[in-house]
């Protein structure tokens, strides 16, 4: 038979359990102190203490010395973690479909890959590269394997600085242009900042800028109208202009020198910095290339970004930023917490190839190969598509032909059919920050062999014509 | 002689200029429409239009078709950009002094470098490495140089997955543990989230977590008390527990298996995930190592992180995360926008070294060398410091000896003097998220030669004794 003390104790415990059951006390909440509850209920403190002990024993609450008693989490103690509930809102914001689509286009079973942007790896200077790697491993293995400055291996920084005719302190080595964009976004963007970008533009830039919280405003590359840009500057007070003025990805358009000068003056006047994404200027096929914005800049308004991915090999993961030294310092602080520094052996090997002339010789060979491949792609496009159904650019540089299907079509369906046939192209909508032109797609003409390229385009045409 | 129209025009222009001068109209503001201003001032619209034209000609305002007239930026049109004013608040939050200090400790003129954490590079298996590099370049150069999956080269993922006895889909290759921490922080932390970290802990973790907006709560590694941890879980509702239970950096402490089991149960109960930073478990010198939290985990609460930097070479920039496949996918979406994928040649070379047994043989040699170096360091510490002035750990693994000066001293002054003598150690305060123990410092005993190590410690002792 239970005594009166037991009954009171059970009532106190029930009182607490009820408050938990009705959500008045939540997991982690602190319970009233034993003394306070005793006074409130008109009971002895011992009774309340005994009730709390029982609640603790049954796992309902947890008493912590000097802090009080707390409601325990309610689930069974062995619950596996629901990881997806732990992902931050920011990470969820990632445009997963676009990224998935890009990942899709790298499926290993694709025979004809016109999607990703890769230079002709058949031109890769393997013999001099191998020689350079072995030279570095024979002479400088400790340097290649040790902790290195975040800003980059001094030898590679010097080689790149010499190209720009600046001091090494202006150069930050990055693991490809994408890392450069991400570091710049993390350094410069506050959530909500407006950024002017080209319309269309590189999907990786859209992703990295949006992930940093930027709201993107599109500047149409069909004109690159300076008047239109000024209207955007006035209307949006943007933080940055992100532009790709030379052999633009995906359109391959190039801004002329007069436009560049006007753009620079406007940026200086409105005090809006320019990030010049100059990934493609060394992929010239015909004609001449205007000086970079960075070179023309008189007002310290341009940060310059480029990579060896599109002219040597993407697998090397080597690019660079050219910027005022204090910005190089600030960006390298961010890189330090992102990944400390960039891989050593590839940096030193590339420095060797830049110094011994291999890189320049390679660029000349690459140009010949890319020019031939472009001609093959253009011929195949003309053979397989009529001018009434498809319009496309005839670029003087870059790796891409930007195409637009003139008739109504379910582009997703077409590209899926092409993939099933083993051919992939980059869907146009990935290149727009807003209101995409769904009828566009991008062909990379440099990543396939002379033999595969016409076949890939033939399969693509088949996919189009069967989907209509 | 000026007509009445000219006078009125000048008055309108003055009216606008005054409003700008007094800050009633700011750069970027829209002016009243010409029609509205004409009505307001009782003038003809032509007069107002003429005044606006004059203001535009002198650069005060800018008229934009269909939008109206706007106040121009006031500075001279050729102002160079003040880049430092463009840096985001987030980037300014970086603990620049700490990062600067870390950068300082890598100064090239330092002869005796006990600061950075590097394994004995004299053990680096250069001959098999060179052989493996050449084999990859002969057989798999296109694979090494091409665009590769963000998750890592399949061959390296398989080799690492085999070690953990999991499927490849659980493995994400990262460019060193620092990238792993940064990706996890970007994936999981929302600004303001609490994260429980070891006290003290790796400065790079403090930096990356804080940069993602985490507020850090320290869990003292002197005890790794499970009761203390539960109090923290109750008091702070943290998002994550970030811990380094094996040969902890900097203290070299190891959590025993019973504590690990309790920690796992607690994490499951409170549904708080654990990130296990297991960078040092393969640097065992004596005794045995308890199973990792990841291996013991029954509740899917642990994400595991490690690197080859501390057992092979930091210059390789290769580490990995082991996690549930959907988290690997989520993290690789973030890595995709951070840098697309990790360098190819080093990944394939490392896979070769893991597969052909070189890595395991290397670990055995490394252990012998590190054990000898530790003995030399301990002897030198005992010779140059008395037990009354310096206490230090005697670790059974890791690369570090964690030291504490028992008397009052200006540690900054001591470390500066040591640097002037050419010897650097890692200052203790970098390892604390809050209220640092300034009297601590960390010695890396594996990065110096047998000859340099005693001399470096002698110089350090000189710096201490001269500063007192």
- A434 touches A216 (CB < 8 A): yes
| Residue of A340, A303, A266, A325 lying closest to A184 (CA atoms) | A303
- Tell me if chain A has a CB within 8 Å of the CB of B239: yes
For A141, the closest of B77, B126, B301 (CB atoms) is B126
Closest-approach residue (CA) in chain B for A146: B315
Closest-approach residue (CA) in chain A for B209: A337
Measured in angstroms, the CA of B154 and the nearest CA of chain A are apart by: 11
Residue with tokens 């940069």, as numbered in its chain: B211
- Write A362-366 long-range contacts (CB < 8 A, 24+): A362/A123, A362/A124, A362/A125, A362/A311, A362/A312, A363/A282, A363/A311, A365/A123, A366/A119, A366/A120, A366/A123, A366/A283, A366/A311
- Cβ-defined contact of B141 to A126 (cutoff 8 Å): yes
Measured in angstroms, the CA of A188 and the nearest CA of chain B are apart by: 5
Measured in angstroms, the CA of A28 and the nearest CA of chain B are apart by: 5
**Chain segment A359-379, per-residue pLDDT in tens:** 999 999 999 999 999 999 999
> Sign of torsion, CA B44 B50 B53 B57?
negative
Closest-approach residue (CA) in chain B for A123: B142
- Tell me if chain B has a CB within 8 Å of the CB of A46: no
Predicted confidence (pLDDT) at residue A107 exceeds the cutoff of 70: no
Cβ neighbours of A91 (radius 10 Å): 20
Measured in angstroms, the CA of B104 and the nearest CA of chain A are apart by: 10
- B423 touches B112 (CB < 8 A): yes
Cα distance between residue B388 and residue A445, in whole Å: 72
Number of CB pairs < 8 Å for A and B?
302
- Tell me if chain B has a CB within 8 Å of the CB of A71: no
- Cβ-defined contact of A186 to B129 (cutoff 8 Å): no
- A12 touches A41 (CB < 8 A): yes
pLDDT (0 to 100) of residue A1 = 45
pLDDT (0 to 100) of residue A10 = 85
Measured in angstroms, the CA of A288 and the nearest CA of chain B are apart by: 28
- Cβ-defined contact of A176 to B340 (cutoff 8 Å): yes
- A345 touches A137 (CB < 8 A): yes
Contacts of B121 in chain A (CB under 8 A): 142, 145-146
Cα distance between residue A444 and residue B352, in whole Å: 32
- B290 touches B278 (CB < 8 A): no
Closest-approach residue (CA) in chain B for A297: B80
- Tell me if chain A has a CB within 8 Å of the CB of B273: yes
- Tell me if chain B has a CB within 8 Å of the CB of A269: yes
Residues 6+ apart with CB under 8 A from B171: B151, B152, B157, B160, B161, B164, B320, B321, B322, B328
| Residue of A266, A267, A274, A198 lying closest to A241 (CA atoms) | A274
- Cβ-defined contact of B88 to A235 (cutoff 8 Å): no
- Put simply, the chain A residues between 329 and 368 with a CB less than 8 A from any chain B CB are 330, 333-334, 336-346
Least confident range from A234-243, A387-396, B110-119, B310-319: namely B110-119
Which residues are registered as beta bridge partners of A403? A392, A441
- B296 touches B260 (CB < 8 A): yes
Residue with tokens 């637009």, as numbered in its chain: A404
- Cβ-defined contact of A231 to B67 (cutoff 8 Å): yes
Chosen from B28, B81, B141, B297 to mutate, greatest number of chain A CBs within 10 A: B81
Residue B154, phi-psi category: left (phi > 0), alpha (psi -120 to 50), beta (remainder): alpha
SS3 string, chain A, reads CCCHHHHHHHHHHHHHHHHHHCCCCCCCCECCCHHHHHHHHCCCHHHHHHHHHHHHHCCCEEEECCCEEEECCCCCCCCCCCHHHHCCHHHHCCCHHHHHHHHHCCCCCCCEECCCCCCCHHHCCHHHHHHHHHHHHHHHHHHHHCCCCCCCCHHHHHHHHHHHCCCHHHEEEECCHHHHHHHHHHHHCCCCCEEEEEECCCHHHHHHHHHCCCEEEEEECCCCCHHHHHHHHHHHCCCEEEECCCCCCCCCCCCCHHHHHHHHHHHHHHCCCEEEECCCHHHECCCCCCCCHHHHCCCCCEEEEEECCCCCCHHHCCEEEECCHHHHHHHHHHHHHHHCCCCHHHHHHHHHHHHCCHHHHHHHHHHHHHHHHHHHHHHHHHHHCCCCCEEECCCCECCEEEEEECCCCCHHHHHHHHHHCCEECEEHHHHCCCCCCCCEEEEECCCCCCCHHHHHHHHHHHHHHHHC
A378, exposed or middle or buried, with CB in 10 Å at 0-12, 13-18, 19+?
A: middle
- Cβ-defined contact of B83 to A149 (cutoff 8 Å): no
Contacts of B301 in chain A (CB under 8 A): 80-81
- Cβ-defined contact of A81 to B28 (cutoff 8 Å): no
- Tell me if chain A has a CB within 8 Å of the CB of B98: no
- Cβ-defined contact of A269 to B72 (cutoff 8 Å): yes
| Residue of B290, B344, B412, B8 lying closest to B175 (CA atoms) | B344
pLDDT (0 to 100) of residue B90 = 72
Predicted confidence (pLDDT) at residue A330 exceeds the cutoff of 50: yes
- Tell me if chain B has a CB within 8 Å of the CB of A235: yes
| Phi and psi, residue A241, nearest 5° | -115, 125
- Cβ-defined contact of B88 to A186 (cutoff 8 Å): yes
| Residue of A229, A269, A268, A230 lying closest to A245 (CA atoms) | A229
Closest-approach residue (CA) in chain B for A298: B80
For B146, the closest of A176, A314, A343 (CB atoms) is A314
| Phi and psi, residue B344, nearest 5° | -85, -45
Quick one: average pLDDT of A427-448? 93
**Chain segment A144-189, per-residue pLDDT in tens:** 999 999 999 999 999 999 999 999 999 999 999 999 999 999 999 9
- Tell me if chain A has a CB within 8 Å of the CB of B297: no
Cα distance between residue A404 and residue A441, in whole Å: 6
- Put simply, the chain B residues between 136 and 165 with a CB less than 8 A from any chain A CB are 137, 141-150
Chain centroid offset of residue A108 CA: 22
Contacts of A84 in chain B (CB under 8 A): 326
Give this complex's ipTM.
Answer: 0.87
**Chain segment A200-216, per-residue pLDDT in tens:** 999 999 999 999 999 99
- Tell me if chain B has a CB within 8 Å of the CB of A5: no
What is the value of pTM for the model shown? 0.87
Q: Which residues of A102-135 are buried (b: 16+ CB within 10 A; e: fewer)?
A: bbebbeeebebbbbbbbbbbebbbeebbbbbbee
- Tell me if chain B has a CB within 8 Å of the CB of A106: yes
**Chain segment A29-38, per-residue pLDDT in tens:** 788 888 888 8
Chosen from A211, A234, A273, A319 to mutate, greatest number of chain B CBs within 10 A: A234
For A190, the closest of B82, B90, B300 (CB atoms) is B90
Beta strands in B47-130 (DSSP E): 61-64, 68-71, 112-113
Predicted confidence (pLDDT) at residue A2 exceeds the cutoff of 60: no
**Which residue ranges of chain B lie beneath pLDDT 50?**
1
**Chain segment A42-54, per-residue pLDDT in tens:** 888 889 999 998 8
């Amino acid at each position: 038979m239970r005594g009166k003390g037991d009954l009171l104790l059970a009532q106190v415990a029930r009182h607490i359990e009820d408050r938990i059951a009705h959500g008045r006390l939540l997991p982690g909440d602190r319970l009233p102190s034993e003394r306070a509850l005793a006074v409130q209920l008109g009971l002895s403190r011992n009774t309340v203490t005994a009730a709390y002990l029982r609640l603790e024993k049954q796992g309902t609450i947890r008493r912590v010395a000097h802090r009080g008693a707390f409601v325990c989490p309610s689930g069974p103690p062995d619950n596996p973690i629901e990881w997806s509930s732990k992902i931050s809102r920011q990470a969820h914001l990632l445009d997963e479909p676009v990224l998935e689509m890009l990942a899709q286009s790298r499926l290993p079973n694709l025979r004809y890959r016109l999607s990703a942007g890769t230079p002709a790896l058949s031109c890769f200077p393997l013999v001099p590269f191998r020689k350079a790697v072995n030279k570095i491993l024979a002479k400088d293995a400790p340097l290649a394997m040790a902790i290195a400055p975040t800003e980059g291996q001094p030898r590679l920084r010097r080689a790149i600085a010499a190209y720009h005719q600046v001091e090494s302190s202006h150069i930050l080595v990055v693991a490809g242009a994408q890392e450069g964009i991400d570091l710049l976004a993390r350094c410069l963007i506050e959530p909500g900042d407006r950024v002017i970008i080209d319309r269309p533009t590189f999907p990786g830039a859209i992703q990295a800028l949006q992930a940093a919280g930027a709201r993107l405003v599109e500047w149409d590359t069909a004109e690159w109208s300076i008047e239109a840009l000024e209207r955007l500057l006035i209307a949006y007070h943007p933080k940055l202009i992100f532009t790709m003025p030379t052999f633009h990805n995906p359109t391959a358009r190039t801004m002329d020198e007069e436009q560049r000068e006007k753009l620079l003056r406007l940026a200086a006047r409105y005090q809006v910095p320019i990030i010049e994404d100059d990934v493609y200027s060394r992929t010239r096929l015909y004609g001449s290339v205007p000086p970079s914005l960075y070179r023309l800049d008189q007002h310290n308004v341009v940060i310059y970004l480029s990579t060896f991915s599109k002219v040597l090999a993407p697998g090397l993961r080597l690019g660079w930023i050219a910027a005022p030294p204090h910005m190089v310092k600030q960006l390298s602080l961010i890189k330090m917490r992102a990944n400390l520094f960039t891989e050593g052996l590839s940096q030193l090997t590339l420095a060797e190839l830049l110094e011994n002339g291999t890189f320049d010789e390679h660029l000349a060979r690459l140009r010949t190969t890319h020019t031939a491949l472009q001609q093959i792609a253009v011929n195949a496009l003309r053979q397989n598509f009529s001018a009434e159904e498809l319009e496309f650019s005839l670029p003087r540089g870059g790796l891409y032909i930007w195409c637009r299907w003139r008739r109504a079509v379910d582009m997703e369906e077409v590209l899926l059919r092409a993939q099933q046939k083993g051919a992939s192209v980059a869907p146009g909508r990935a290149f727009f920050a807003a209101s995409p032109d769904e009828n566009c797609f991008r062909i990379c003409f440099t990543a396939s062999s002379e033999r595969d390229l016409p076949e890939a385009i033939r399969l693509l045409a088949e996919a189009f014509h069967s989907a209509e």
